[in-house]
C-alpha cells in the first residue's frame, strides 16, 4: 500500500505541475471575459471533462502507442524530459508555454465561439507535455515502484480525475480564485510548479541517457 500511495503522490505532483490549472486560469479568464456567467461555467466544465477524457485515453493506450511506433522507453525519457524541461523554463520565467499554445493561437482563441476543446482542453490542459508525462509514468510505476500495469493505470486515472476536478473548480470560481490568490500569487505558484517540473525532467533525461549508455556498452 505504501508504494501505491507514494506513486499516487508522485504522479499527481508531476501531472498537476504540467497541466498547471493555476496558469491556465489566467488564460481562461482572458478568453471568457466577455461571456455570461452560465457560458463561462459551461466552458469550464466542458474543458475539464474533455481534457480529462483525452488524458485517460493516453493512460490506457500509452504502451500500445509506443509499441506501434517502435519507441523505446529510454528514448521517450530523453525526448520527453527535454520537452518538460523547456516547459518548466517557460513556467519559471512566467511565459506562455510554447508547448501548449502560442501567443498567436491565444489571441485567435478570444474570437472563437467555442474554446472548450481548442485551445482549453487541448493543448492548454492536455498537451504534448502532459501526454508524455502520462506515458512515462506508466513505466516509472512498474520499474521504480514494483507495481503491475493494471494498478499503475488505475492510480494514474485516479490522479487525473482528481486533478481535473480541481481544474474545474478553479475555472468555475476563476474570478474568486483571482481575487483570493491574486496575480502575484498565481505567478509564484506557477514558478514553484515549474521548479518541480524541471527537477522531474532532469531525472527523466538522466535515467534515459544512462540506460541508453549502459545498453550500448553491454551490446
Please tell me the predicted confidence (pLDDT) of residue 123: 84
Distances (CA, A) of 27 to 5, 114, 123, 182, 189: 32, 14, 12, 14, 15
Contact 74, 207 (CB under 8 A): yes
How many Å apart are CA 118 and CA 116, to the nearest integer?
6
pLDDT, averaged per 10 consecutive residues of the chain (219 residues), comes to 93 95 87 88 95 97 91 93 92 70 57 75 91 95 94 98 97 91 87 93 95 83
DSSP string, 150-166: HHHHHHHHHHHHHHHHH
Cell numbers 523547456 label which residue? 86
Beta carbons within 8 Å of 83's beta carbon, 6+ residues apart: 99, 128, 129, 132, 201
Please tell me the predicted confidence (pLDDT) of residue 97: 63
Amino acid at each position: 500500500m505504501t508504494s501505491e500511495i507514494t506513486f499516487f503522490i508522485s504522479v499527481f505532483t508531476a501531472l498537476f505541475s504540467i497541466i498547471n490549472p493555476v496558469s491556465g486560469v489566467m488564460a481562461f479568464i482572458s478568453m471568457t471575459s466577455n461571456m455570461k456567467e452560465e457560458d463561462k461555467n459551461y466552458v469550464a466544465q466542458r474543458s475539464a471533462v474533455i481534457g480529462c477524457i483525452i488524458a485517460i485515453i493516453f493512460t490506457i493506450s500509452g504502451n500500445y502507442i509506443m509499441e506501434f511506433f517502435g519507441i523505446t522507453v529510454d528514448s521517450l525519457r530523453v525526448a520527453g524530459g527535454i520537452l518538460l524541461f523547456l516547459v518548466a523554463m517557460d513556467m519559471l520565467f512566467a511565459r506562455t508555454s510554447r508547448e501548449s499554445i502560442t501567443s498567436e493561437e491565444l489571441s485567435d482563441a478570444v474570437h472563437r465561439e467555442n474554446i472548450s476543446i481548442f485551445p482549453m482542453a487541448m493543448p492548454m490542459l492536455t498537451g504534448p507535455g502532459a501526454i508524455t508525462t502520462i506515458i512515462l509514468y506508466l513505466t516509472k510505476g512498474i520499474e521504480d515502484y514494483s507495481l503491475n500495469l493494471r494498478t499503475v493505470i488505475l492510480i494514474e486515472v485516479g490522479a487525473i480525475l482528481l486533478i481535473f476536478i480541481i481544474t474545474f473548480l478553479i475555472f468555475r470560481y476563476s474570478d474568486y480564485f483571482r481575487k483570493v490568490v491574486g496575480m502575484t500569487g498565481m505567478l509564484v505558484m506557477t514558478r514553484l510548479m515549474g521548479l518541480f517540473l524541471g527537477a522531474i525532467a532532469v531525472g527523466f533525461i538522466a535515467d534515459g541517457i544512462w540506460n541508453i549508455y549502459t545498453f550500448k556498452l553491454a551490446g
